[in-house]
Structure formats: structure tokens, C-alpha cells
Chain A
Amino acid sequence: MSEKSSKNKISLERIQQIREFSLIGFIIVLSIFVQFRNSNFLTMSNIDDLLTNTAILSILAVGMMMVIITRGIDLSIGATLALSGMVTSMTVSNYPSLHPLVALLIGIFIGLISGAIIGLLVAKFNILPIIATLGMMNVFRGITFLISGGKWVSAYQMSDSFKAISTGSILGINNLILIAIIIYLVFYYFINYTRTGRKIYAVGSSPESAKISGINVDRITWLVYSIMGGLAGLSGVLWVSKFASAQSNTASGYEMNVIAACVIGGVSIAGGEGKVTGLISGVLLYGILENALPMINVSPFWQNAIQGAVILIAVLVSALIKRRIGSSNKIRRED
């Protein structure tokens, strides 16, 4: 393959930046439009609500981004979330004096185990991620149902300290938002400033090269699914704490929202590509759509179609931008 080089080159950072700026631009335009229709949109309290409601999605999106970077996908996170939420809340209802931190740890632990199983299936048994997670989604969901016996855990069965996990706040910032921020800082550092974090990109960018240069591809693959599971487990606890109710069908289908947020945020399903900064704008746009559509009195029957159209447009536009840059840069080798 031959290519022209050295002329008109635009660096990797530049491509990402243009993409992110266009997304942020879109978010701003959308926000102004919504604000125009409902002046309550850009108030502190609504922004607080918006961020709180997006927090869990954003936590899951970080894990999903890492999975997708390694060319994988995880459809089981909704089920893992429900399983962890159910087990934790059942524990809490039986031992009301349990410290909330312990509850969080239980949830993360359950998530980690679930994720580790999937990681094992994908890394060691070479089962394609979409199949492994599709199968385990059924299994986790079924287990949640069996252990709960079809019952819900309701608000009155949960201790106040447990519910306070998601309602409490520090320095006026809701705990959920704080947890999400901490997660983002931790993973921003992990992905950009640790060797293991960079290996995730290496594995996704070229598994063959990674293998030859001595990176343990299986271990990295296993790791990202375990992290994804752990984050889903954490989200499970936050979810049941936030809504003060645990059901076996909690967050059913939620994985699609998370994947959509990642995609809007510029994470490439083909692997190797995706940044935390991009992801934040993707998650924000998704959160704004969820928050704004009810506020500007869009008919509930139109909400689905509008969401679909916005995702499609966001994806197509970003593809066009990339193509523009690509053609002036003649990246003909990428696939």
C-alpha cells in the first residue's frame, strides 16, 4: 500500500479534538435550544439532577470504553448490575447495621466475580465477547431471579445509611457525582499514565503486535472484563441505593444506553480508539437528552425517535469529520 505523507498532516490529537469540539458544540446548541424552551433547564438544581441521573451511566461507560477499546463488547452489564444490587440489598435488609462501605464492597466483589467469569470465557476459551456476554446476561439475570424468589427489596427494608450512599452529599455535591468524578480521575490516570492502561490500547490496536512484543493479551482482556464487572457491581449498589428498590429486572436493557453513550463519545467499536475526555461529552449528551426531552414537553411518543435520530446524526457527523481529515491526510491503511 502506498500513501502520500508529510503534506498536510494532522496529528492524532487534532482529529480527536475536532471531533470532541464538534460534539461539545452540538451539546451547547442543544442546551441553548432547550433553555429557550424551558428556562429551568440551566439552573443549578437541574444540572445537579442531570449529573446525578447520569452518574451511574457514566461509571458504566468507563468500563465499557475499556472493553470496546480491546475490540470487545459487554451485553451483560445490566444483568450484573441487577445481581449485585439484589444481593447487596438483600444483605442490607438482613443486616441493617451493615456499614455502607461494606455494602459497596460486597457489590463490587460480586461484580468483579461476574466480570472475571466473562473475562475467563473471552480470554481463555476464546469465546467471542458478544456471545459470552449474551449467554452470561441470561445466566446472571436468571440467578438474580432465583435468589430473590421474585420478590423486591423495598425502601423500608433498607437502612437509612444505605440509602444515604446515593442521597448524601459532601460539600454540596451529591455522592453519586463525587463517586463518578473519582472514578473518572482514577481511570483517566490508569488509562493514560500506567503501563497496564496503555497495554489496553495496544491490545485493541493490534492484538498480534501486542502478543509479539510480549504483552499478555489474555491477561489484559481478562482484566478489562473484570474491571467492567467491578464497575457494574458498584453501579448495582448505587442503583438500588438511589432508587431504594431492588428488582430482578433492574436495568434491563441498560447496556444499550451505555454502548450508545460510548459510541457518541467517539469510542470506536473496531477497537484501539477512545478517550476519557471524549467519553465525558458522549455521556453528557446522552444525559442531556434523557433530561431535556421530558422538560420541553416533547410528546413521550416522540422521545424514542428523537433519541435514535440524534445518536444516528452524531455518529454520522463524526464519521464525516473523520473522513474529511482522513482524506486530506490520506490515511488509507486504516480499517
Chain B
Amino acid sequence: MVNNSNNGITLNREIKSEKEFSLKKFFFQWEWLLFLIFIAIHIINSQLSPYYLNTYTLLDATMTFLDKAFIALSMTFVIIFGDIDISVGSTIALASVIMAVLYNAGLPMPLAILVCLLVGVIAGFINGILIVKFKELSAVIVTLSTMILYRGIAYIILENQASGGFPMWFNFLGWGYIKTIIPFILVAFIIAAVIFYVLLHKTTFGRKVYAIGNNDVASLFSGVKVDKIKIIVFTLNGLMAAIAALFLTSKMGSTRPNIASGYELDVIAMVVLGGVSTSGGKGRMIGVLLSIFIIGFLRYGLGLVNVPDQVILIVIGILLIFSVMLSNLKLFSNKS
């Protein structure tokens, strides 16, 4: 209790409505630390590999990790709720498999793509509706079950087959360049990132998401349609998983029921390193974007000097723990 009332009723006082700028507050933000790590990674990587610091390399590198990054955008919303969605990897597999099977059954590719997105939407919607209707179940449980279920359906559909043979233009999603050097996936991601940034930070929708993450009861009492917004966010997460499925499928040229396994943990790591607390209500899109590129470039850079994958995993594991430990020092303001 800081502001104690003691003088009783006095005349209405002026309440300030302009923010005082505090240099300390400004710099002690989680995002600055991420930014420093980001810079450090580039310095280290360029020291390690002569190939690293090169526009082509850097741009190309983004192609290797941006597919899952799409999901990180919407997963940020889910985690701000204090929820989690571990079914996204399976949603990718299901959407991709259904798209491939329908295409090979004669459906035109654009329609197959639409179906893929629709599958993602439905998968996400089912998650959302179950989580809203069964409030006593946590999202972990619901999505743990659907994670097994969705991939199971993908297996039923395609069994041990691969399916592919997509038209040439579909390759463009995962492999195409704009102006010959900028990967299409990077452009698409930037557009998506801007949309999600605006959605989270500039719109009433984003504000309500934060409100629910902080206190869903108070949000309900304030007239926020908690259930509806939750369903929308989980559906959105399914949709983004389907978009990731498009890019991944294009990248692989064909699909199987076992693709994208373990993606959910990568995505969650991206979001959490970005400063979004799994206890809900906190985190910013900028942090998530920085962390996407930190993890992506770190992996790519170390891979470029052929550090074994396992060692890269250790580095990322330690980075995750250290950074969260650091953020717990309360030095950093980490507000919405």
C-alpha cells in the first residue's frame, strides 16, 4: 500500500496523465537485454564463420526457422492468457496431410490450400471450445489429448505413405525469393508480424487478451467476452499452425503424418524467451520477435560451423534458463 489516504476529502486533485520519462525504466526492459543478446550472437557468429556476415546468408538463414515462427506469433496470445497449446505440431501434420491427399485426389491446389487453412481453423476451434466449455481442465490437458488425436488422424489418413507432387508454383512459398534475394517467407512473416503486433498492442482485442490473462474474472465483470476471445485466439493459433504447414510442406515438397513433431516445444521456447510469462498477462510482441531471431540465428550460426546439434540444444537450453533467471531479478520491468 503505497498511496495512503490520510487527508480525507480535499478538493479534487490534479492527476497526472502524462508519462514521466525515466531513463532507467526505459533501458531496464527485457527487450533491451534480448537486443544485446541478438547483437552478441551476430558478433560471435561472424567471428566463428567467414560465411556468416553476408546479406545472402543472413537472408537465407531466415528460411530455416521462420515456418514455426508464424505459430510463435499467435502462441504469444495463448501464453498471455496463461494457457498453452501443445497441439500445434500435430495440427501442422493434419492440415498438411489433408491438403496433400485432397490435392492428389484431384482438388485444385488453391482449394486444397484453403482446406488446409480450414483444417487448422477447425483444429484450433476444437481446442478453444473444449477449453472454454471445460474450465476445470487446463489447456495443457486438452491440447495434450488433441496433440495425440490430431496426429493420430493424420496417420489414419495417410498411413505410411508420403504425399506430394504439388504444382511448381507451390514451391515458391518455402523456396521463392522476392527481388531475387529476399526470401518470400521472410516477407510473409514480416507482414504477419506487423499484423500481430498491431492486433496485440493497438487494438481493443489485444487489450482484452491482456485483461483476460491478468484476471479473467474481472474481465468478465467488465464486459469482456472472455469465452469468445479465448476461442478466437485458439482458433487463430490453429490457423497459424496451418499457415506454418503450408510453408513447411512447400519446403519439403511432400508430406507425411510425422512432420513437425516436437515443433510445439520450439515454439513455446521462442515465446517464453521473448519475455512472455507462462503465468499469464505479461509479455510483448517485440520481445517474441527478437527471441525468434535470436534462437534462429544462434542455431543457424552454430550449425554453420558444424557444432553438433546436441551441443546447440545445450546452448539453447542454458540460454533459456539464464535469460529467465535474469528476468527474475526484478531489474526489468516487463509489463504489457
CB neighbours of A121 from chain B (8 A): 321, 325
Main secondary structure of the interface of B (DSSP, over half): helix
CB neighbours of B328 from chain A (8 A): 125-127
CB neighbours of A143 from chain B (8 A): 314
Q: Which residue of B lies closest to A121 (CB)?
A: B321
Among A125, A132, A142, A303: residue with most chain B CB under 10 A: A142
Please provide the chain B residues from 144 to 200 with a CB less than 8 Å away from any CB of chain A in the complex: 144-153, 155-156, 159-160
B317 lies within 8 A of A142 (CB):
yes
B314 lies within 8 A of A301 (CB):
no
Query: B15-23, B66-74, B305-313: which one contacts chain A?
Result: B305-313
Choose from A127, A302, A312 the contact partner of B145 (Cβ within 8 Å). A312
B318 lies within 8 A of A128 (CB):
no
Given A127-B328, A301-B156, answer yes or no on A308-B317 (Cβ-Cβ < 8 Å).
no
B145 lies within 8 A of A138 (CB):
no
A51 within 8 A of B: no
B contact residues, total (Cβ < 8 Å): 44
Binary per-residue interface labels of chain A (187-225) against chain B in the complex, 1 for a CB within 8 Å, 0 otherwise: 000000000000000000000000000000000000000
A145 within 8 A of B: yes
B138 within 8 A of A: yes
Cα of A259 to Cα of B142 in the assembled complex, Å: 12
Cα of A230 to Cα of B82 in the assembled complex, Å: 30
B277 within 8 A of A: yes
Query: B28-36, B37-45, B264-272: which one contacts chain A?
Result: B264-272
CB neighbours of A132 from chain B (8 A): 321, 324
A305 lies within 8 A of B137 (CB):
no
A46 within 8 A of B: no
Cα of A73 to Cα of B272 in the assembled complex, Å: 16
Choose from A142, A260, A299 the contact partner of B313 (Cβ within 8 Å). A142
A269 lies within 8 A of B155 (CB):
no
B325 lies within 8 A of A125 (CB):
yes
Binary per-residue interface labels of chain A (64-97) against chain B in the complex, 1 for a CB within 8 Å, 0 otherwise: 0000000001010000000000000000000000
A141 lies within 8 A of B313 (CB):
yes
Choose from B136, B148, B268 the contact partner of A304 (Cβ within 8 Å). B148
Given A131-B272, A315-B145, answer yes or no on A305-B321 (Cβ-Cβ < 8 Å).
no
Cα of A111 to Cα of B142 in the assembled complex, Å: 30
Choose from A73, A126, A146, A305 the contact partner of B155 (Cβ within 8 Å). A305
Cα of A248 to Cα of B309 in the assembled complex, Å: 13
A18 within 8 A of B: no
Please provide the chain A residues from 282 to 327 with a CB less than 8 Å away from any CB of chain B in the complex: 299, 301-309, 311-312, 315-316, 319, 322-323
A134 lies within 8 A of B269 (CB):
yes
Binary per-residue interface labels of chain B (73-98) against chain A in the complex, 1 for a CB within 8 Å, 0 otherwise: 00000000000100000000000000
A145 lies within 8 A of B144 (CB):
no
Q: Measured between C-beta atoms, what is the minimum distance from B300 to chain A in Å?
A: 17
A142 lies within 8 A of B314 (CB):
yes
B320 within 8 A of A: yes
CB neighbours of B308 from chain A (8 A): 145
A185 within 8 A of B: no
Cα of A128 to Cα of B151 in the assembled complex, Å: 28
Given A141-B310, A142-B313, A263-B141, answer yes or no on A309-B324 (Cβ-Cβ < 8 Å).
no
Cα of A301 to Cα of B148 in the assembled complex, Å: 12
A256 within 8 A of B: yes
Cα of A270 to Cα of B308 in the assembled complex, Å: 38
CB neighbours of A135 from chain B (8 A): 316-318, 320-321, 324
Binary per-residue interface labels of chain A (110-139) against chain B in the complex, 1 for a CB within 8 Å, 0 otherwise: 000000000001000111101110111111
Q: Measured between C-beta atoms, what is the minimum distance from A140 to chain B in Å?
A: 9
Query: Known pairs A75-B265, A139-B313. 8 more at Cβ < 8 A?
Result: A125-B328, A135-B321, A138-B313, A142-B311, A146-B311, A253-B262, A256-B144, A302-B155
The 6 closest A-B pairs by CB, nearest first: A305-B152, A308-B149, A138-B317, A308-B148, A304-B152, A142-B314
* A to B CB contacts below 8 Å, 8 in the list: A127-B328, A135-B320, A138-B316, A302-B155, A303-B152, A309-B152, A312-B145, A312-B146
